[in-house]
Structure 1
Amino acid sequence: MVGIHVAALIVFVILVGVDTSQPSGTPGRFSAAAGWFLAGIFLAPLLTIGAIIWSMILRRRAKTTAPPSRAWNSVQADQPARAELPRVAPTHSEKPLGPRVDADRSNRTSYATRAEARAAAAANKAGANGMVARGAGPTPPPSAPREALPTSNRGSYMLLGSDKYKSTEVEGEFARTSEIAAVVKTLTGRALRLDHEVEIPDVPAVLRTEPENRYHRRAIMVVVEGSHVGYLARDDADRYHAAISRVERAGYVPTTRARLWAVQRRGWDEVKKLHARVSLALNEPHLLHPINEPPSVSYSLLPWGNAVQVTGEENHLEAISPHVNPGSESIAIGTLHRVETTSARGIVKHTVEVRIDGRAVGSLTATTSPHFLPTIEHLERDGLVAATWVKVKGSAIAAQVTVQAARAPELPPEWFAGPTTIPSLS
């Protein structure tokens, strides 16, 4: 563009210098243009240099005043809170875990990891410049790395529902890529390869409250194989904090099952980047542990099984009402006892009575009792009581009780190795 302007200027100078008073073809016609022509030759380089300098100044001003791009804003600005959908246990088996559309999750970080990244960047910049923003005070240093989980004095506590569908999403994996890569290598025995997806469908995961987190006092971190791989979302952390804290106060480590997916791919800048997704199996907060304490007598807990309806609850509302969660359901630990009943014809039958904290809450029918009588008799010979999971739903004036226990033919071989118990949280 500058060259075109200069060329036009030279032509204009030559035309202006032509002596139009002389007839065409006479030698003096262009004599007056000689001086203008020489002036144009000397002025052209000066004008060209000036135009180049002015163009550079305009470009620099445009760069300094241009607003940041939308892509930059989408990474820097916090996303609005997502509405939590109700979790419904699927009726089908779990499908292989695949990548999200937003597999890098760079614009869906957790509250803590995003804030930590900004705080660390601000601290580094302030240290390099030897100054901090006016009126803002010194920037707090970034959190120390959290890699190892403190050992508990009692061991792990497997939360109820850890064998359910893994539908609770973990956030902030993008900021823990090195830890996730180490976990994958530990569990699979080999490092991640480029464009090779790795899925670990079932692995223990520890939930740990983090009261020292300066961005959210109810933060809950997720630890797999001793490595911090992410956080529960802020809304989930608020809902689960009380239940998780209760387990920790009792001296146990809250544990559930997780599913992990990871892949390493090249980005637009040809740099290798790890994409990961972690999901957890979590019941609703009030269903993570039983509402009552385990039996005080020697017992063995039956594995979780299909629901079996208890009858006669209306006759035991006084014993059931302390375990009712109004508007929802609750899980308690009950015991199964063999009782004898005599029919009107004098026939003696053995049925199963269900008790919670030593008080009867109902009985199984003559049809369903035989499914559990062999188990009760087997444990009685060993001096043990058959304990079971009991689900209670209703109100103080009407209640529904179901037994969630495996029937005698469904008991796995490992259950017979020794008594199965559950820790007390008192």
Structure 2
Amino acid sequence: MSFYLRTRVNVGPLRVSMSRAGLGASAGVPGFRVGAGPRGAYVTLGGGLVSYRTTTRTTTRTPAPSAPPLLPASEVVLADITGATTLEMAAADSSEFVSQLNAAARSMRWWPWVLVLALALAAASPWTLLAGAPLTAWVFLHDRIRRTVVGFYDVQDAGDARRFQGLVDAFGPVREARRAWHVVASAALSTTRQHKLNAGASALVKRHSLDRGIGGPPHLSANIAVPSLATSHRAAYFLPDRILLREGKQYADVEYRELRIEADVQRFIEDGSVPSDSRVVDETWQYVNVKGGPDRRYKNNRRLPVVEYGSLRLSGPNGYRATFAFSTPRASWALADALRAMTRTDAPPVAVAKPAAVPAAPARTQVPAAPLTRRRLSADGRVAIVGEAHYQPALQRAARGIAAGEGFDQHLPAVALLVPEPQNPHDLHAVRVDAVNPAGTETVGYLSRADARRYQPVLRALAQSGYAGTCPARITGGGNGRHYGMYLHLAGPDALEIANLAAEADLLEPERTVTVTKEENHQETLRRYHSGAPRTIVAADLAPSTVSSGKHKGSYAIEVRLDGQRVGELTAAMSARYRHLVTGVPRCEAFITHGERGFQIDLRLPKADRVPR
């Protein structure tokens, strides 16, 4: 499929055309057409071999006003994850293009009222239908014109055309996917009862079926193919210079350069029919016991398939968030790569012509690519690497020649850098693991093929945002002829990013979950950090304080902060257990969830015995 540039578009009875001289509009029937263009009004008679055309000019002409340039383009309570509404986004930052579309969408339809009036008068005199029918048709066409914005895109830069062609091509796999959804709400399952009654899932989602096409929004008539993802209430239209968003009859837009894109593979427990292009990777039961097997107390306990779906998450300025799911990961990866290419546009924005003259937009300044900033990823997990036998000298240098002991506490700490290698000749999904040392980095192995397929899309998305992911690691072996090895402290690919951490940092080891109290007094602060996902990973600070209320009031307590803002405290017992860790202001991983009790935050801390009083 190719995107196309037409020289004319139809808006109701009008034919709007673009030429080198400018824009023109005409209306009529074969053999007779009246129009107006940059050289004045004209009338065309006849057709075939004989035709007559005359042009009329007025002695006084009022120049059309110049329009501003277009800017570059159950018991579980589910929380809305769609972000700000288009009304809120348009109010925060509305371009001229969006204003025109909103004005067209708000225009009232008059033809139904004319039709009702004509039918009412026809009851008294049938002859009124002779006048009412053509009048209704004329008003219908006039409404169509008033409620449509005409846009001509002239893609002059080869790079712009190539990138937009790539976006249109990426809609091939998107449209071929058997099923697609817009995820509008989610909730994390935190209690054992919730897990058992929901097939052992970690979260529930609400989703709407997604239509995929190239027709564009109903209030825009354009001369190009416009890829779109739409539900009955919301839609996203991918134009050459921006993403146009619609919610009901309200429009807003997001520029590609301000867009953040994340794509990965998610395991989904499907309680409906499995799409034919989806891969079933496991199965579970509708009602499970604590060990994951079937709960025998329930009759008709169905087996449910666990399938792999592709997930695409978009976020941008003014609170924009959208999560799309596809029955095959191929669709989400293709669309994510095409959208990332659009964010790298460094040529002048695409020029758009409309009925009113539109001056060219200013060119963007090309900024040279900057080196990637290292960003600490969540360490809440353990991942093995492979191929260490080929990199023993590098591992020996990373271990400084020291042999590691057998126990976990004797494994040697290190820092690993994860580097996606989509051009690797042996595996396009490869992820290289480098050990970070004061002199630089050295390759020490790779993620396994299965892990690389899961992690590479997220790591590539980070690289597109200017970051390279790092994580803590531990070195094993060495001495007595043993090979060195390494494993990573790394969370799953769906929970890698620490929302408020955009650099390397020393965090406590995340080995156990510790509950925070008094969050009910800090809901607004937690709301600002919550991304809308089932879990939002953040870095929390620990500081000495005192218990604020209750029977232990005034006792020693550990206060929990997010970027200096208090969000809760540990109980007196937990504060006593972890008091020895609070030297200075240590930081640890935490996760924010939303449920019946509002926003909650839980810490991930090392295992620690009670400190003697």
Normalised by the length of structure 1, the TM-score is 0.38
Higher strand share: 2
Q: Radius of gyration: which is bigger? A: 1
Higher helix share: 1
Normalised by the length of structure 2, the TM-score is 0.29
